[in-house]
Amino acid sequence: MAGEVIRAENLTKVFNRGLVAVDHVSFSVGEGEVFGLLGPNGAGKTTTINMLITALKPTEGTATVLGYDVVKQANEVRKVIGVVPQEYTADEDLTGYENIILCADLYGIPRDVARRRALELLELVELTDFKDKRVETYSGGMRRRLELACGLINRPKVLFLDEPTLGLDVQTRAATWEYIRRLKREYGMTIFMTTHYLEEADALCDRVAIMDRGKIVVTGAPSELKDGLGGDVITVAIKEDVDVTSIISSVESVKDVRKEGGTYRIKAEDGEATAPLIMEALRRRGYTVTRLSLAKPTLNEVYLEYTGRAIRDVEESKESFIARRMTLRRARGR
């Protein structure tokens, strides 16, 4: 890892109503890295990013971005970072071009440079044909791309993306991933993103920190985390209502068995070879296997391992998600 770009130490945010959104979180992000904060809605990801981009003051702990303290040198931080928020924040009454120029003015970028760069960025996010149309007429994907262009106007050294593909269709999501990869590849930009999509973290991030209920439970490269689980996961269910844990664990190359209700979660090195052995062992004792599945570990298994819950179980219905968002927004006081 080259130079350290972001450093957070014991970062904590307690909202007025006693809600501990972020609870003593520490991590560091290296230069040129794509770092992902992964976790379900309400885990504290947005609050963490808001502290790093100086939108919120931490209750406790410190954070620096490129060596600047996010509280004491907030204005220096703001100059060198780019922010692409979760919401569509562009002014709907203005055109895409006008929005980017407005951002440039807020950063104090010289006029001629701003004009040239705005056109380049519109080209990058493929909005050149729509630059003089009001944002009101843009689709969700176009708005997201415009947000990205606005976030890049000051040529940030660090780009913060809050749920960059939330609510986007598969195609637009893939395109967004491509932009992010390009930024890293061509400009060596350090990217800090939050997401609750496991595939996204897996596909884009060099390293992820898994966040649950305000705490970081584990940090590492996705492949490292998956390997750390100790192999593949085999899930088995039998017809009989008997505990067969000891039979399964006696099979060679089975590393761990956990009974969860009527099913057994088995960790094994070489899943493809082990699964038939387990089935055979159970059948020999006269048990009937009703279900068997084999999973290569994904970040969901990693999440499950560290929090005891599947990330998808934590996903809420749309209504409760919106209700929770509103509560959080109010708690954040903005």
Binding site for other proteins (CB under 8 A): 53-55, 57, 75-76, 78-81, 83, 85, 87-94, 98, 102-103, 105-110, 113, 117, 120-121, 124, 150, 152, 154-157, 187-189, 330, 333-334
Smaller CB separation from other proteins, 289 or 331 = 331
Shortest separation between residue 213's beta carbon and other proteins, angstroms: 25
Angle at alpha carbon of residue 266, lines to 263 and 269, rounded to 5°: 160
Q: Please, what is the minimum distance in Å from the beta carbon of residue 99 to other proteins?
A: 9
Residue 93 or 178 having the CB closest to other proteins: 93
Between 75 and 171, whose beta carbon lies closer to other proteins? 75
Closest CA relative to residue 329, chosen from 8, 50, 24, 83? 50
* Of 182, 179, 178, 204, residue with least CA distance to 193: 204
Nearest-approach distance from CB 157 to other proteins, in angstroms: 6
Q: Which is nearer to other proteins, 78 or 145 (CB)?
A: 78
Residue from 112, 106, 94, 190 nearest 154 by CA: 106
Q: How far is the CB of 145 from other proteins (least distance, A)?
A: 14
- Distance between CA atoms of residues 95 and 123, nearest Å: 15
Could you tell me if 258 and 264 are in contact, meaning their C-beta atoms sit under 8 angstroms apart?
A: yes
Q: How far is the CB of 186 from other proteins (least distance, A)?
A: 8
CB of 45 or CB of 78, closer to other proteins? 78
Give every strand in the sheet of 254-260, ordered side by side: 254-260, 263-268, 232-238, 289-295
CB 302 within 8 A of CB 198: no
CB of 66 to other proteins, least distance (A): 9
Contact in structure between 23 and 194 (CB atoms under 8 Å): no
At 322, phi and psi to the nearest 5?
A: -65, -40
- Please state the closest distance from residue 237 (CB atom) to other proteins, in A: 47
CB nearer to other proteins: pick between 60 and 272? 60
Nearer to other proteins, 55 or 314 (CB): 55
Q: How far is CA 328 from CA 81, 118, 145, 182, 319, in A?
A: 24, 34, 26, 33, 14
Exposure of 198 in the CB half-sphere (CA atoms within 13 A): 16
